[in-house]
Structure formats: structure tokens, C-alpha cells
Structure 1
């Protein structure tokens, strides 16, 4: 991480997404075609649905870094039937572009849109890293792959997830769903899974 300078800028470390996006790209490449219809830790999402969601959110948060409006609005689709034929290459390319976009200190200035919500660029960056790391975990779990994401990225996502307060009256836990209790001395990635409403020990067999 590096601290951007410049007059009038609040102190904010840029987040190096490259280690996390590279790890998730490797998981994407390891998904077999016969796994696309399988379950994931995301309720009602198949592996194909999750891949389509990842394909869309990487573009959305790249545009958020650039302060550009996404084509077709701010909704993040999760429709496996719309997954492009070259999805392995397409998602890998978008992950790399996402990391490049958030390496620019200007991405953290002012307000931007993350999905349908307007927020400071600094916060949008944390949402982006959370989305990448957590959905990488989802995909690895769903397809039986090893997952060892960058520790700094996991801790950044964990800090954000633990500080998130759902809107008043949101019985479903809001953005992440109700948190799952995980021991305080558990690995950071397990604590992140729990903080975002997932069972750290989830497998397709337990779906």
C-alpha cells in the first residue's frame, strides 16, 4: 500500500488489489464446465450465476474508480445464462483492470457510485476489495479449490465488514446477511466469511 499525497487530499492509503484479483483469477480459471450448475455459499446462486455476478461487479467497480456511470444502470446481475462464452478470459481481464483502476490515487477522491449507492471513493474501494475476496472464497468453496488470498486484502475486507452497520430494521442483516459467529482466534479468512454471513466450513454437500 502507498499513501497518496497532494494538496487538499485526505490521508488515505491506496489499496493494492492485484494480489487479490490475481488469486481470484486463478480460481476462475480452475472452474470446470461441469461445475457451472452447482451450488455456492450464496443462496439461490449457481456457480454460473456467481461467475456472471463477478463479471459484472468487476466492471462496475472499475467504473466506480473512474467516476463513470455503468452502462445499463447500477444493478449487479447474477444470471448464469448470460455468462459470455469466453468467461474465463473476460473475468480475468476485468479483474486485472479493476486492480489497475484502484491503483490511481484519484480514484479515492470525492464521491462515486457502488451499485445503486453513492459513497466516498475511499469506501467504494473497500467494498470492491470485499466483493472480490469474499466472492473468490465463494467460488473456491463451490468448486473445491484451494484459496489463499492476500492477507492484507483479507484484513481490509474484514475491517470493512465488521464495521458495517445494516440499515435499521433490516432483519436479513442488510448488505451481507446475518453474521455467523466465528472464534476470535480463527484465521482471518474464516472470520471474514462469518462477518459476511457465511459458514466457514461450507461445502457443496452441505448446501
Structure 2
């Protein structure tokens, strides 16, 4: 699991590139996540990022007064905010020790590697969601594609039970590892707005 630490920075770099291409007019665009438009997906990322950072540092989660749905975190400085958050997550989860042992997320104990999986998934799957919604190209390194596919297979049943992944989507026999990962996470690789 700690070998995934080396994949965090390249995955984050592609994710950050997609973020920088999002304009004001894109915020209301539909995403492959049916319950989120671009603004709501950015809000989701900004809301849960500090929780993931705390899980990686094995510290207490942030104190919050609202749930994700009530939070309004996509203000005028949203890009700077999410870039700083992304850099902190890379700093934390780019270190192999963040993936070792146990941690908590949302008050629930879990293997620290699971928090790392969540960060890699956020960068890659939600990066792809945002790219699709805004018409941007999304490039995934082969080793990152292989990793998120393996993760999706490993945690798929649990993630679907928790409503983190959608129902598995069948992909073509000649699908790439990343397309297989998308399908395993409940995404249609051919989705368009």
C-alpha cells in the first residue's frame, strides 16, 4: 500500500491542471456524478479534504458546524483554496508512513491505507469527472491507472455499500485499465454532458 505514495504527486498534478481550467461558466455544468454539478463537486472536495488530511496525519478531524450539503465553500478563492489543500494532501500522502497502521475518518477507525486510497481516488476519479464536465482532456499515467483499478476491485463492494461508488458499469472487452477502473467505480467511460 505504501508504494502508492509515489503515485499521489503525479495524480495530483493532473488533477490540479484540470482545476485550473475550470471557469465561472463551468460551475453549473453536469458531471458524471449525478448528484453533483461542478460547483457541488468542488464543494465536496473542499469539504472532505481536511478530513482526509487529518486521517493521513492521524490527528483529530476538523470541527465542523455544517454537513457537506449545507457548506458553501466555492467562493471567489476556491481555486487557491483547493490548490493549497491538494498540496497538503500530497505532502501527507506522498510519505509512505501515512499509509501505515490505523487511523480514523469521520470518527470511524480504518486502515490508514484506506484513507490513502480515498485520496488517490479523489484525485483521479473526481479529476476525470471534472474533466468530462468541462470538456478537458484527462491523462492518467499507466501505473496510476493500474493502481486505481486494483483499488476499485479491492474496495468496490464496500464502496458501493457506502454509496461512494455507483453500481459497476460494464466496459468493452478491449477497455484500458483506466476505463476498467472507471467502470468498477460506477462510471461510464463514455459519459458526456
TM range (shorter): 0.7 to 0.9
Q: Does 1:15 align with 2:13?
A: no
Cα deviation per residue 1:144-199 (whole Å; 9 max; x = unaligned)?
001002322222111011122535x95xx843121001124312221111111111
Aligned to 1:192, what secondary structure does the other structure show? helix
- Of 80, 104, 120, the match for 2:95: 104
Matches of 1:116 and 1:200, distance apart in 2: 34
Matches of 2:34 and 2:190, distance apart in 1: 15
Q: Does 1:91 align with 2:87?
A: no
Hey, what does 1:139 align to over in structure 2?
130
Matches of 2:71 and 2:130, distance apart in 1: 14
Matches of 2:111 and 2:145, distance apart in 1: 21
Aligned to 1:84, what secondary structure does the other structure show? coil
Matches of 2:142 and 2:172, distance apart in 1: 18
Higher RCO, 1 vs 2 (CA within 8 Å, ≥6 residues apart) = 2
Cα deviation per residue 1:105-153 (whole Å; 9 max; x = unaligned)?
3212321123454211122212221122100000000000010023222
Matches of 2:30 and 2:112, distance apart in 1: 33
Q: Does 1:44 align with 2:20?
A: no
Q: Determine if contact 1:193/1:199 at 8 Å carries over to the other structure.
A: yes
State how many pairs are aligned: 190
Q: What RMSD over aligned residues (CA atoms) do the two structures have, in Å?
A: 2.4
Hey, what does 1:201 align to over in structure 2?
190
* Runs of at least 5 residues in structure 2 that lack an aligned partner in the other structure: none
Structure-to-structure mapping, 1:109-188, within 5 angstroms: 109-115=100-106, 117-166=108-157, 170=161, 174-188=163-177
Aligned to 1:85, what secondary structure does the other structure show? coil
Hey, what does 1:191 align to over in structure 2?
180
More helix by share: 2
